[in-house]
Amino acid sequence: MAGHDELKVGGLTLQGIAQGGVETSIRVPELKLMFDVGRGGFGALRYDRILVSHGHQDHAGGLPYLLSQRGMMGKRAADVDLPAGLAPGIRQVLDAWEAIEGFTFSVNLHPRAPGDQWMLSKQLRATAMRTVHRVPSLAYAVERITRRLRPEFADLPGEALKQKREAGENITDEVAQPLLCVTGDTQIEFFLTHELARQCRVLVHEVTAWDERRSVEQIREWGHTHVDEVIAHAERFEGEALVLVHRSMRHSKAQAERVVRERFPASIRDRVHVFGN
């Protein structure tokens, strides 16, 4: 299908579409998460949890359609995380479509603010982070949370540990493993200010412009990132895969991959991927 892509990196599969200004929806089957809805098309019905970065139609326009389709198929209420500033507008749009279609959508809207953390499942924790765009916008980081026996108890026999646990003593520490961050649309300031994003095993970051046809200044004016800015700072990324998405239609995937090969520092080049056909 035109525009659809699939990439396996860092133990995760990224599926979907990521074309700047046209449609963005990135799905991660291993985590059962969908980032942005795009136009709500092919493959989207499988996901009960949707994280919406911001209210531009290329990212969120398909939400009413998707919720309508889910309703007709009798699916359970979708959980939709979205910037708090976007929630009232989306509610109005949904109300209007409910009136037009004559039935009620099954959805839980969860308004989020920068710094909010919540559990997506038993082990996965989401963190909302402020991005820099022209409307209220958030990036989402996903960490796997596990518990590890505190080092001071490492040599205790099982029976002694059991007694401590039964006595209500906390014998474990929380371990958070940063798995994935997806930015939505943002200027480069997001990458520069959020250490958690740079530490994620997989960071999906927007790069809208890939050559000099649009200057860094022009791209920043629209709240986006130019590849020159990423090249200048990419070495600060600490994870396994930096995945660049939201390429404008001016640039082919082949052109973007050539830029990665020829212009990114050798130390990071092999960890940089271009996503979106």
Q: Is 124 helix (H, G, I), strand (E, B) or coil?
A: strand
Residue 143 near Zn ion by CB under 5 A:
no
Per CB under 5 A, the list member of 23, 36, 81, 185 interacting with Zn ion is 185
Q: How far is the CB of 160 from Zn ion (least distance, A)?
A: 56
Q: How far is the CB of 228 from Zn ion (least distance, A)?
A: 19
Stretch that binds Zn ion, among 3-11, 85-93, 161-169, 178-186 (CB under 5 A): 178-186
Which residues of the chain form beta strands (DSSP E)? 5-9, 12-19, 23-28, 33-35, 49-51, 78-83, 107-112, 117-119, 124-130, 138-149, 172-182, 202-206, 241-245, 272-274
The region that residue 11 occupies, defined by phi over 0 for left and psi between -120 and 50 for alpha, beta otherwise, is left
Per CB under 5 A, the list member of 23, 36, 58, 81 interacting with Zn ion is 58
Stretch that binds Zn ion, among 55-63, 146-154, 235-243, 255-263 (CB under 5 A): 55-63
Q: How far is the CB of 59 from Zn ion (least distance, A)?
A: 5
**Residue 187 vs residues 17, 103, 138: alpha-carbon distances, Å:** 20, 39, 12
Stretch that binds Zn ion, among 38-46, 92-100, 179-187, 261-269 (CB under 5 A): 179-187
The region that residue 248 occupies, defined by phi over 0 for left and psi between -120 and 50 for alpha, beta otherwise, is beta
Nearest C-alpha neighbor of 110 from the set 135, 76, 79: 79
Q: How far is the CB of 227 from Zn ion (least distance, A)?
A: 16
Residue 56 near Zn ion by CB under 5 A:
yes
Q: How far is the CB of 22 from Zn ion (least distance, A)?
A: 8
Residue 130 near Zn ion by CB under 5 A:
no
Q: Is 137 helix (H, G, I), strand (E, B) or coil?
A: strand
Residue 23 near Zn ion by CB under 5 A:
no
Residues that bind Zn ion (CB under 5 A): 56, 58, 185
